[in-house]
Amino acid sequence: MVKRLVVGAHYGFRDWLAQRVTAVVMAFYTVYMLVCIAAMPAWDNAAWRVLMSGGFTKFVTFLFALALFFHAWIGVRDIWMDYVKPISVRLTLHVLTLLALTGYAGWVAQILWRL
Amino acid sequence: MAEATVRKARPKHLNLMQIRLPLPGFVSILHRVSGAGLFLCLPVLIALFGASLGTPEQLECYRATMAFTVLGLPVVKLLLLGLLWAYLHHFCAGIRFLLLDMHIGIELAPARASAVAVLLISLSLTAFLGVLTW
C-alpha cells in the first residue's frame, strides 16, 4: 500500500510553476512602483495618498498582494515540510499559515478600497 | 553480494557550525531566511501600510511608530531596514534562480560569480534606498 501523508509533498509541477509566475508578477510590480514613487511630485503623505488612490494602482497593488500571499504559501509550506516532521504539528502549521494569509488578503483589500 | 551488505558508516556533518557552505549555498539559505523573515513580519508591514493611508489619527500613530526608539536606537526603522535587505536579497536571488531554471549560468564559474553579484547588489541597493528613505 502506498503510504499517503495528509500534508506530504504531493504537489509538484503546478506549485513550482506558480511560485515562479507569482515571482515574475511581483518583480514587475516592484520596478513599476519604484518608478511611480520616484516620479511623485513630492515625497510626502499627500502625494503617497494620490498615488495609491489611483484605480490602476489599487488594481495592480491588490494583484501584487495576492501573488505575494500565494508565493508565501508555497514557500512557507516548503519550510514546514522540510523541518517539521510530526504530521499533526505540520498540518496545524499549514492551516494557520493559510488562515493568516487569507486574512491578510482581506486586510489589504480593505486598506486599498476605503481610499 | 558481500559489498552490498557491508556498508561503511558514512560521516554525517550535522553540526551547522562545521558545515562550510559555498557561496551559492550561502545565497540559497539566505533566500529561505529572508523569505521566512518577510512572512513573519507581514502583519507589521500591512499595518504600517494601512496606517500610512488611514485616518489622520492612524497617520499620527504611523509617524509615532516610525519615530519609536529604544535607548536612542530607532528600532522600527532598523527593523524596516532589515526587511528592505530581506526583500532585495530575495528579489535578486530569485532572479538568479529563475535564470538558473532557464539553464543560464549553471556552470561553476558563472554560478559563483552570480552568487557574489546577488550578495553585493542587494547590499548596495539596501544602502542606497536606506539612505534615500531614512
Asked if pLDDT for residue B71 goes beyond 50, the answer is yes
User: What integer pLDDT is reported at residue A78 of this predicted model?
Assistant: 94
Amino acid A60: pLDDT: 98
Q: What is the average pLDDT across B89-113?
A: 95
Give the pLDDT mean for A60-88: 96
Top residue of A40, A93, A107 to mutate, by most chain B CBs within 10 Å, is: A107
Pick B98's closest partner by Cβ from A23, A79, A100.
A23
Strand partners, B110: none
* A69, pLDDT greater than 60: yes
Residue B105, pLDDT above cutoff 60: yes
Instruction: Please tell me which of the candidates A45, A108, A115 has its beta carbon nearest to residue B46.
Output: A108
Beta bridge pairs of residue B70: B73
- Chain B interface, Cβ < 8 Å to A: 32, 35-36, 38-39, 42-43, 46, 49-50, 52-54, 59, 91, 94-95, 98, 101
- Evaluate if residue B106 carries a pLDDT over 50: yes
Averaged pLDDT for residues B93-108: 95
Which residues pair with residue B73 across a beta bridge?
B70
Q: How many angstroms separate the CA atoms of B107 and B114, rounded?
A: 11
Q: Which of A3-12, A92-101, B8-17 has the lowest mean pLDDT?
A: A3-12
Q: What pLDDT does residue A63 have?
A: 98
Name the pLDDT band for B86 (thresholds 50, 70, 90).
very high
Question: What would the grid cell of residue A55 be?
Answer: 484605480
pLDDT at B54: 94
Among chain A residues, the shortest Cα distance to B42 is held by A104
In this complex, which of A20, A49, A79 lies closest to B98 when CB atoms are compared?
Answer: A20
**pLDDT higher for A3 or B77?**
B77
Q: What is the SS3 assignment for B73?
A: strand
**pLDDT score, position B13:** 64
pLDDT band at A86 (very low <50, low <70, confident <90, very high): very high
> What's the pLDDT score for residue A84?
94
**B121, B43, B117: which is closest to B79 by C-alpha?**
B43
User: Smallest CA–CA separation between A72 and chain B, in Å?
Assistant: 7
The residue to which cell 560521516 is assigned: B11
Residue A66's φ and ψ, nearest 5 degrees, are -65, -40
Whether B4 shows a pLDDT value over 60: the answer reads no
Confidence of residue B19 (pLDDT cuts 50, 70, 90): confident
Contact at CB, B53 and A48, closer than 8 angstroms: yes
Confidence of residue B8 (pLDDT cuts 50, 70, 90): confident
Distance from CA of A41 to the nearest CA of B (A): 16
CB contact under 8 A, B59 and A45: yes
What is the average per-residue pLDDT within B71-100? 97
What pLDDT does B1 receive?
A: 46
Indicate the average pLDDT of chain A. 93
Instruction: Give B50→chain A minimum CA distance, Å.
Output: 5
B11 versus B98: which is more confidently predicted? B98
Alpha helix positions (H), chain A: 13-38, 45-53, 55-83, 87-113
Q: Do B43 and A30 touch (CB under 8 A)?
A: no
Residue percentage of chain A with pLDDT more than 90? 87
8 A C-beta contact, residue B94 and residue A23? yes
Identity (one letter) of the amino acid at A89?
V
**B15 backbone dihedrals φ, ψ, rounded to 5°:** -75, 110
Chain A residues whose C-beta sits inside 8 Å of any chain B C-beta: 20, 23-24, 27, 30, 45, 48-49, 52, 72, 75-76, 79, 100, 104, 107-108, 110-111, 115
Query: Shortest CA distance to A24 belongs to which of A53, A52, A64, A59?
Result: A64
